[in-house]
């Protein structure tokens, strides 16, 4: 039987083969297109599904590795249909998008540790047809809301040139390689701020670029106010001795009001001509709920209590830095 790590490497081989003709304008060693173009495709691009496989190559999974085409571009994404209500344990699309957006508060583009992520509203028939291509009927997609024949789907760019780290952190490299220490620090700041509570192997991957060995958090569904995973919560805490000063300085400027404005409504859809399309967010329909609708609008965001808890973690982090508990990397 193939081990999980071997399955993952096999998936990466397929991804690399599919991207053999990558354009010379690739963003870096892990992104075969510029980030802005990936964001555009995930959010609004017209897409054609070319191939569908379970994410880890096993039957009965709830997420899929989808090869799709959009215009002249072919790319792979993690495709995660929401369950009924879009707010169940380990399947909260809003948490995946929130983790992506939180990193924008304190990381530059080349430092980001969550791949491009978006939420789309697709007709239920299209989602079922996509999943059916795996030949696995164990988890047929559901309508997200009973009144509409549609399903919300979280899409996340499937990165190139990454692998499962054997040890995280690599203690020897941590002592010798300041670039690795900085990049791992960025990763740990993100997992701490969002309260990442699932240390399952496969949720974190590392770039194989020796000069820029970023660690990425590619599954953030168990975070914020989620229940804990039975696989441990190792990276929910701060685990290093030093963190990048640039990231800490940006976190100093984060206010509760700013978090509420940026994360209260992460994405909004409106019903137009029978389909839900993403639109600019309006006022928060209900700050106490993460998934909201009023008949023709759907909003996903963090709740007021989730935002307050995250802000408390940031304030505590800054206090600890100022007390000298953690050192800063220049």
The two three-digit tokens of residue 80, written as one number? 């995660």
- Read out DSSP for 256-278? HHHHHHHHS-SEEEEEETTEEEE
Q: What percent of the chain has pLDDT over 90?
A: 85
- Pick the more confident residue, 15 or 152: 152
* φ/ψ of residue 188, rounded to 5: -70, -35
Q: Is residue 149 part of a domain?
A: yes
Q: Is residue 48 part of a domain?
A: yes
* φ/ψ of residue 329, rounded to 5: -90, 130
Mean pLDDT of 130-139: 86
The two three-digit tokens of residue 91, written as one number? 């399947």
CA distance 310 to 11: 34
What's the pLDDT score for residue 27? 54
- Specify the pTM: 0.91
Selection from 126, 251, 140, 127 nearest residue 185 by Cα: 251
Q: Is residue 280 part of a domain?
A: no
Q: Is residue 282 part of a domain?
A: no
**Range(s) of the domain holding residue 232:** 4-255+305-329
Q: Is residue 278 part of a domain?
A: no
Q: How far is CA 310 from CA 107, 237, 255, 302, in A?
A: 17, 13, 11, 10
Tell me: cis bond preceding 64? Omega within 30 of 0 counts: no
190 CB-contact burial (10 Å; exposed 0-12 / middle 13-18 / buried 19+): buried
Half-sphere exposure of 99 (CA within 13 A, CB side): 32
Q: Is residue 227 part of a domain?
A: yes
What radius of gyration, in Å, describes the C-alpha atoms of the chain?
19
The two three-digit tokens of residue 126, written as one number? 């299209």
CA distance 303 to 245: 29
Q: Is residue 220 part of a domain?
A: yes
What count of residues does the chain have? 330
Confidence of residue 209 (pLDDT cuts 50, 70, 90): very high
Q: Is residue 284 part of a domain?
A: no
Confidence of residue 61 (pLDDT cuts 50, 70, 90): confident
Q: How many domains does the chain have?
A: 1
What's the pLDDT score for residue 12? 41
Buried b / exposed e along 125-158 (16+ C-beta atoms within 10 A): eebeebbeebebeebebbbbbeebebbbbbbbbb
């Amino acid at each position: 039987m193939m081990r999980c790590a071997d399955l993952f490497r096999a998936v990466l081989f397929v991804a690399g083969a599919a991207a053999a003709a990558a354009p010379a304008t690739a963003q870096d060693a892990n992104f075969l297109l510029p980030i802005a173009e990936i964001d555009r495709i995930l959010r609004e691009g017209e897409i054609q599904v070319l191939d569908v496989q379970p994410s880890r190559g096993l039957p009965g999974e709830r997420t899929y590795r989808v090869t799709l085409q959009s215009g002249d571009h072919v790319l792979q994404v993690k495709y995660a249909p929401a369950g009924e209500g879009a707010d169940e344990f380990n399947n909260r699309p809003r948490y995946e998008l929130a983790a992506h957006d939180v990193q924008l508060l304190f990381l530059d583009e080349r430092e980001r540790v969550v791949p491009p992520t978006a939420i789309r509203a697709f007709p239920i028939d299209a989602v079922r047809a996509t999943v059916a291509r795996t030949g696995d009927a164990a988890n047929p997609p559901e309508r997200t809301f009973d009144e509409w024949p549609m399903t919300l789907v979280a899409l996340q760019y499937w990165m190139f040139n990454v692998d499962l780290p054997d040890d995280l952190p690599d203690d020897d490299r941590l002592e010798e390689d300041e670039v690795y220490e900085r990049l791992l620090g960025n990763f740990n700041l993100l997992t701490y701020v969002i309260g990442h509570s699932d240390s399952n192997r496969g949720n974190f991957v590392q770039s194989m670029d020796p000069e820029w060995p970023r660690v990425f958090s590619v599954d953030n569904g168990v975070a914020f106010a989620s229940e804990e995973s039975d696989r441990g919560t190792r990276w929910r805490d701060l685990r290093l001795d030093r963190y990048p000063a640039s990231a800490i300085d940006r976190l100093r400027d984060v206010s509760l009001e700013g978090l509420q404005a940026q994360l209260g409504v992460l994405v909004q859809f409106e019903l137009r001509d029978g389909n839900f399309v993403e639109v600019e967010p309006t006022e928060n329909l209900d700050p106490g709920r993460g998934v909201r609708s009023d008949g023709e609008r759907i909003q996903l965001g963090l709740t007021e209590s989730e935002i307050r808890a995250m802000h408390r973690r940031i304030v505590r982090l800054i206090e600890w830095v100022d007390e000298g508990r953690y050192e800063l990397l220049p």
